Amino acid sequence: MKTTVVVGGNFAGMTAALEIKRKGKTGHRVIVVDKSPLFLFIPSLIWVPFGRREVKDISFRKDAVLAKKGVDFLNAEAIKVDAKKQVVVTDKGDVSYDHLVIATGPKVKYDVAPGVKEFAHYIGTPNGAMKTRKALEEFKKNPGSIVIGATQNAGCMGAAYEFLFNIEKWLREQHIRKQVDLYWITPETYLGHFGIDGITGGETMLKSFMKMFNIHYRTEVGVKEVFKNKVLLSSGEELPSRFTMLMPPFVGVDFVSNSPDLHATANGYLPVGEDYRHLDYNNIWAAGIAVDVKLPFKPGKIPFSGPKTGYPSDETGKIVAENIIRVTNGKSKLKKKAWGRIPGICVMDAGKKEVIILSDTLFKPRKFAIMIPNIFYDFSKVLFEKYFLWKTRRGYSQLP
């Protein structure tokens, strides 16, 4: 029997573990190592600050799901890997493997600029989303200017755009919109770049949104420093702000940086081929955010990164699972699909409105790319949330 250890158990890790076990059956033991027993549907965290969702609505016990499908779960923190001995060191003991899948997700680089950690909110974690909810309740009592956006080197622009339009709607619902100057700041070279060099018509659409919702915006700017009541931009401009929400950059987690054998990039990501196999180790694989992705474009005067979203994470988890099974069955031909050639499928919420983004590939060149606005209701966003939670709760990893 072969043993695969999967470090990390959210989008990429959960999918990879379930698919390896489904395809490998009794001939394959799968162990997921994660410090959290909860699966979290991260895209819906944007709704938590506004009370549209509670964290319990978008999370569930993944250990129970894994157990039903025959996957072992170790509730532990992975500290490092010894690639030569094929051992993962955890705070609850060592775990040996035949194959290792690294699906660890990101670490948030709050020190990208002074004051970001102290004075800017971040909605990418349950704790951060709940702190943001509390801060908005206080903001209502004494409204003023708001700054929303992404810092230099950030890659998760989409979530920040979603939060921007949701907070604009929330301000109207609280009857304080006229008291608030709302600013959007981004390192993107133009609105709607998204770290994928844009989608046809995207810039025009977002400019119209900014005008319609009376949102001031600044492109190609970084954050020099955040203060309690203002944000200093790289351009030298100071924006007043009584509430600030910023998406900082992501870097690799400590597990990767603590493991010199992995030969990670400076940002802590793993060098892999189009089959997501490590370039130096035939039995180590990466999926999701842990993958080093080469961008096919130059960001401009302010650096920013590409997105690593749920759909590519899920897809790379499936590719890794298929390739591990092929290797264990003695096959040499592996499935390959570069990150940038995975289709672009995304629903951007815009405050009970939405924009559906579809493209045949994530990066250019593309044969097909379109943005479809839905100004009536964010039905597709809600439907996708319900579908993904439904299929994952039941361990249906083979579904798209």
pLDDT tens digits for range 148-180 = 999 999 998 999 999 999 999 999 999 999 999
Mean pLDDT of 236-255: 97
What pLDDT shows up at residue 282? 97
**Residue 44: how many CB atoms within 10 A of its CB?**
22
Amino acid, res. 333:
K
Co-location of 130 and 160 in the same domain: yes
Work out the burial of residue 212: count CB atoms within 10 Å of its CB; fewer than 13 is exposed, 13-18 middle, 19 or more buried: exposed
Q: Does residue 226 register a pLDDT over 90?
A: yes
pLDDT class of 376 with cuts at 50, 70, 90: confident
Mean pLDDT of 210-223: 97
- Per the structure, the count of domains in the chain is 2
Residue 220 belongs to what domain range? 115-249
Residue tagged 């690294």 (tokens): 102
Give the predicted TM-score (pTM) of the model: 0.95
Mean pLDDT of 332-348: 95
What pLDDT shows up at residue 352? 84
pLDDT, tens only, 48-62: 999 999 999 999 999
pLDDT, tens only, 86-127: 999 999 999 999 999 999 989 999 999 999 999 999 999 999
What pLDDT shows up at residue 209? 93
Co-location of 257 and 243 in the same domain: no
Of 293, 313, 336, which residue sits at a domain end? Answer: 336
Co-location of 279 and 321 in the same domain: yes
Co-location of 269 and 225 in the same domain: no
What pLDDT shows up at residue 42? 95
Q: Does residue 299 register a pLDDT over 80?
A: no
Q: Is 308 part of any domain?
A: yes
CATH number of 68's domain: 3.50.50.60
